[in-house]
Structure formats: structure tokens, C-alpha cells
Chains A and B, each alone.
Chain A
């Protein structure tokens, strides 16, 4: 019985909660995007559905569900159907390892605010999140149309180039924390009393730039550059299938933001864990855990805002320039960052500052 509760019931509840919350967050992220960009562009954004347009995401959802689902006659029907699903699933299952808050004990049971603490969490996140690209490539190819094909090609090239720099940029953090588990990385930041971003500022900037590029968001939104490729890889998609791509893109944004928060900004830790940590230590454990969720969400929200802010402010890179930025600037800088971090850690160990 205990086995059933520990390994089936609790994880299922957690998965359900995360899935539900994520869907809602994504729906309102689209609303946030439209509102934030509208305000930056001296507009109001959606205003007609509900007060201040607050019910707009629901109206959008209903519209997407009811729309005709068109499959082009020359398309590869099976792959065309499969592609959005292949993109969506990895984007969601990545959340299994992301720690939203610390673990706490309630009714004699230890409950953790994450589905699982995988000891190779970082590898899991990186590998699973790059599976999503497969769906984009397949979708672009299966549409049997030229613009989606070009979009898919761009997407493939972009992902490959930025995946490398993304991996290198978090290497510094991994060296500092000495673990691949996301929970350990956060706990390491709690123990050292300082967020990793202050130790690895360059690493953070590189990570975030690569993350934006990984998500196909502005200014790296080439695969779906609407002014060049009409809509890129999802030109031929409509209705519900299109909304799956849409969901996946926004889920991936949340993944990258969560990773940035976990690796560099102390995950669920409140600000100044070394100075003000005692305040949170005195809270009852349940409340402390929930406040962890609050801090985590707040930080993720700030990063999501950054995504929208970039989109409103900057033009779009060209395909070859994107490659240049990736290979000629980000890669070498990331490698340099790894080398410098390694040297500094080695020196500090030699001098006996750290163990």
C-alpha cells in the first residue's frame, strides 16, 4: 500500500497539478505576451473578451478547437499528424525534474515540490528538450510545401548550433556545484549562500541568449519569421494541430526560464539567501515550501517578460548572421568561460579556500 501511495498516487497527483497549472500558465502567457507587447507599442492589446480582455485565452482556445483542421492533400498524413505531438510531449515532460520548491514533511510523509529528483537531471533536460526540434523538422517536411521546408531547415541548423553553446554555458555552474541534479544545484546555492549568477555572470548571459535561440523566439525567430517565410514550419497547420505547436513553443519558453532560474538565480531560494535566509528558516515548513514556489514563479515570470521585451524591441537576425553569432562569438566565449572557471576553481582549491 505504501508503495502504491509513494510511487503511483503522489507522482500522479503531482503530474496532474503540474500539467494543469502549466496549461493555464501557457494560456495566460499568450495573454501576457499580447498585453506586454501592446503596452510597449502604445496599444491596449485584447480588451473585448471579459474585463480588460482577461478571458481572451479561453476564447482563443475555443476558437482553435472549433476551427477546421486542414491536412494538405499532398502532405504525409501520418507524420503531419505526429509532428505537433512529438514537439509537445518533450516540452511538457521536461518539467518532471524541475524543482519548483523544496521538500517538506507533512503527515509524516516527505513531500517534494518536484516530480522526481533525477541524479542526471541536467542531461535529461538538455536531451529531452532538444527532441522537440524533431517535431518541427518533421512538421516542416511533412507539409510538402516550400516555406515550411525552409523553416524546418533553418530550425534544424539553428538548434544544432545553439545546443552546443548552451551546453557549454552551464558547464561552469556544474563545476561549481559538482552535481547534475537540479535539486542539488539549488541546494548548493543555498549552502554557499550566493546565487550562481554572481559567480557566472557571463555563463548566465550566454545561457539566456542560447535559450532564446533554442526557443525560436525573437530576435532569433527565423524558423517562423512571419515576414519572410509566412509562418515557417507551421504554415500549413491549422486548428488544433497548430495550437499544439503553439503550446510547445510556450512550454519551451517556460522550460528555458525555469532552467535559467534553477542554474543561475537560486531556484526557489528567496533573494539574499545568505543575509535574509533566517527569516525563511523560521517559517513553518509548508509555508516555507510554498514561499519557495512563489519566488520560483516570480523569477520565471521575470524571464518570460524578458522574452516578450526582446521581441518588442529588436529586429530579427538573418540566417547566416545567426550562425555567425552562434559559432563565432557564443561558442568561443562559452568555452573560454569554462576554461577560466576551471582555472579559478583549481587555484582556489590549491590555496585551500574551498574544499
Chain B
């Protein structure tokens, strides 16, 4: 199908119809109801349920113990190799989680670690305000991950 290639008629040209049409459109958009701005720090944006934000290690809600089984699958799945899982074997020879380091400065929030996790432990939360003061702060340890990254509270 051929696209249109309209030509202005002489009458339209003389009376500036094309230009006036544009003016009217922009004029009509001045009404406040047409406004699309979201005033971010004042208004909290509602992110989607599936939003992939800051990581969190979930604990069992009943016992309070970590759900992580130290299987290391998330570390293997990560394209950026930003996860480091530390574990030791207990007396029964079962793996137990000791340390967990998540380098958020290299994370690209692809969600592959979340997919790989066989338990509901590792989760990318809806938290999206991730700015920190130093690069070193971005290496999240196990404690921070279990508490969840705390958002900065803006008052204004």
C-alpha cells in the first residue's frame, strides 16, 4: 500500500489553514485535565506487582529462619556474576547459608536469579529507590538483604 503524500491547496496555503490547525491543537491541550505529569517525590508512583527492583532474601514467616538452601543456582544463573553465596556443611552434611553478597552496582535486574531460585527465597522487590552514597555501599550483605533495602524518605 502506498502512503499518502498530501499537497496543500492554494486556498489552504493563503489562509494558513495548516498552521492554524496546529495552533488550535496545542491550544486545546492547555486544559488541566489533559495534564500527564506525575510529581515524583511528592506523588509515589505505583509500580507493577511484578516489578524487578531491589533484591531481598525471604525468611520463613513462621520460624524466622532463612529459606535459602545455599544451592548456589542464583550465582550460577547471574550473567554478571554479582552474587556470592557462602555456605558450610553442618554435622549432618547439609549445606547451610553463612554469607550472601549481592553486588547491586553490577546488577542489571534481569530477573534470572529469581527464576533460578528453587525456593521462594530470593525475590526482586518493588523497591526502586536504590541510590546510595558510595560504590562500597552497593555490595549488600546477608543482613541487609534479609531486612530488605530501606528506601530513603523524601519529605519534600
Stretch from B35-43, B89-97, B99-107, B140-148 at the A interface: B35-43
Stretch from A40-48, A60-68, A163-171, A179-187 at the B interface: A40-48
Chain A minimum-CB-distance residue to B156: A48
Cα A41 to Cα B29 with chains together (Å): 7
Q: Which listed residue, A42, A43, A47, A309, touches B27 by the CB 8 Å rule?
A: A309
* Chain B residues within an 8 Å CB radius of A310: 23
Asked whether any CB of chain B lies closer than 8 Å to the CB of A127, the reply is: no
Q: Which listed residue, B19, B30, B32, touches A40 by the CB 8 Å rule?
A: B30
* Chain B residues within an 8 Å CB radius of A44: 35, 37, 39
* Chain B residues within an 8 Å CB radius of A313: 19, 22-23, 25-26
Query: Which residues in chain A, 22-70, are within 8 Å of chain B measured between CB atoms?
Result: 36, 39-44, 47
- The contact string, 1 if C-beta is below 8 Å from chain B, for chain A 127-169, is 0000000000000000000000000000000000000000000
Q: Is the CB of B39 within 8 A of A39?
A: no
Given A40-B29, A40-B30, A309-B27, A47 contacting B39 (CB threshold 8 A): yes
Count how many chain A residues have C-beta atoms less than 8 Å from C-beta atoms of the other chain.
Answer: 13
Cα A43 to Cα B37 with chains together (Å): 5
- The contact string, 1 if C-beta is below 8 Å from chain A, for chain B 56-93, is 00000000000000000000000000000000000000
Q: Is the CB of A42 within 8 A of B39?
A: no
* Chain A residues within an 8 Å CB radius of B23: 309-310, 313
* Chain B residues within an 8 Å CB radius of A312: 26
Asked whether any CB of chain A lies closer than 8 Å to the CB of B34, the reply is: yes
A-B contact count (CB 8 A): 35
Q: Is the CB of B36 within 8 A of A40?
A: no
* Chain B residues within an 8 Å CB radius of A314: 19, 22
Cα A309 to Cα B23 with chains together (Å): 7
Q: Is the interface of B mostly helix, strand, loop or mixed?
A: helix
* Chain B residues within an 8 Å CB radius of A36: 30
* Chain A residues within an 8 Å CB radius of B36: 42-43
Query: Which residues in chain B, 1-42, are within 8 Å of chain A measured between CB atoms?
Result: 19, 22-23, 25-27, 29-30, 32, 34-37, 39
Chain A minimum-CB-distance residue to B21: A313
* Chain A residues within an 8 Å CB radius of B34: 42
Cα A310 to Cα B26 with chains together (Å): 9
Report the minimal beta-carbon distance from A33 to chain B, rounded to whole angstroms. 14
Q: Is the CB of A43 within 8 A of B35?
A: yes
Report the minimal beta-carbon distance from A344 to chain B, rounded to whole angstroms. 21
Q: Is the CB of B27 within 8 A of A40?
A: yes
Q: Is the CB of A39 within 8 A of B30?
A: yes
Q: Is the CB of A42 within 8 A of B35?
A: yes
* Chain B residues within an 8 Å CB radius of A43: 35-37
Cα A78 to Cα B23 with chains together (Å): 43
Q: Is the CB of A42 within 8 A of B29?
A: yes
* Chain A residues within an 8 Å CB radius of B19: 313-314
Residue in B19, B26, B27, B39 with the greatest tally of chain A CB atoms within 10 Å: B26
Residue in B22, B30, B39 with the greatest tally of chain A CB atoms within 10 Å: B30
* Chain B residues within an 8 Å CB radius of A39: 29-30, 32, 35
User: Which residues of A pack against B, CB within 8 Å?
Assistant: 36, 39-44, 47, 309-310, 312-314
User: Which residues of B pack against A, CB within 8 Å?
Assistant: 19, 22-23, 25-27, 29-30, 32, 34-37, 39
14 contacts between A and B (CB under 8 A): A39-B30, A40-B30, A41-B29, A42-B36, A43-B35, A44-B35, A44-B37, A44-B39, A47-B39, A309-B26, A309-B27, A310-B23, A313-B25, A313-B26
Q: Apart from A39-B30, A42-B36, A313-B22, what 5 extra A-B contacts exist at CB < 8 Å? A: A39-B32, A42-B37, A43-B36, A44-B39, A313-B19
